[in-house]
Amino acid sequence: MFHIYCPYCEEYREEEEFHPKGQAHIARPADPEACTDEQWGDYLFFRDNPRGIHHELWVHAVGCRKFFNITRNTVSYEILETYKMGEQPRFTAEYPEGKPDEQVAAEKVAAEAAGVERQEGVKA
């Protein structure tokens, strides 16, 4: 059993409260009409199956019912981090020990600037 930290509830919960929803960070093509069949097929059907660090989308189905991301090691099953939608992972295949702090801070600033209007409930 996993003990998963929900970044929205801000505490650890049992795995049975969650559902995995596949690979994370899959962006829908901005202009689907301009895609080739191959690009569209890749977007819809083809997923990575890495040995090692993998970013996954999960949902806290019983609980806050929010989607969030998990970085998990597919070999050891270790969960390296969980982070909210719109944020960038600290642990990647390139940085298996975690990105340096200053890079994380810079990415966070950039993401906040871009994501302000996407935040839920802010549009009043």
Partner 1 sequence: MSEQTANWFNLYDARPDTEVPAESPLAWSYQNSGRPSVSQRSRVVLRERPMLGHLILRGGAIVLDEAVRRVLGFGVPGRPNSLSQDEGGERSIQWLSPDEWLLIVPGGEEFSLESRLREALGDAHYAIVNVSGGQTLLELEGDKARELLMKSTPYDVHPDAFPVGKGVTTVFAKSNLILRRPTETRWELVLRRSFADYCYRWILDAGREYAIGVEA
CA-based radius of gyration for the chain: 16
Residues 40-99 interacting with partner 1 (rule: CB under 8 A): 62-66
21/66 with CB nearer partner 1: 66
Q: Determine, following the binding rule CB under 8 A, whether residue 115 of this chain makes contact with partner 1.
A: no
Three-class DSSP labels, 67-114 = EEEEEEECCCCCEEEEEECCCCCCCCCCCCCCCCHHHHHHHHHHHHHH
Contact 73, 52 (CB under 8 A): yes
84/99 with CB nearer partner 1: 84
- Taking CB under 8 A as the criterion, the residue among 5, 13, 23, 59 binding partner 1 is 13
- Taking CB under 8 A as the criterion, the residue among 2, 4, 5, 16 binding partner 1 is 16
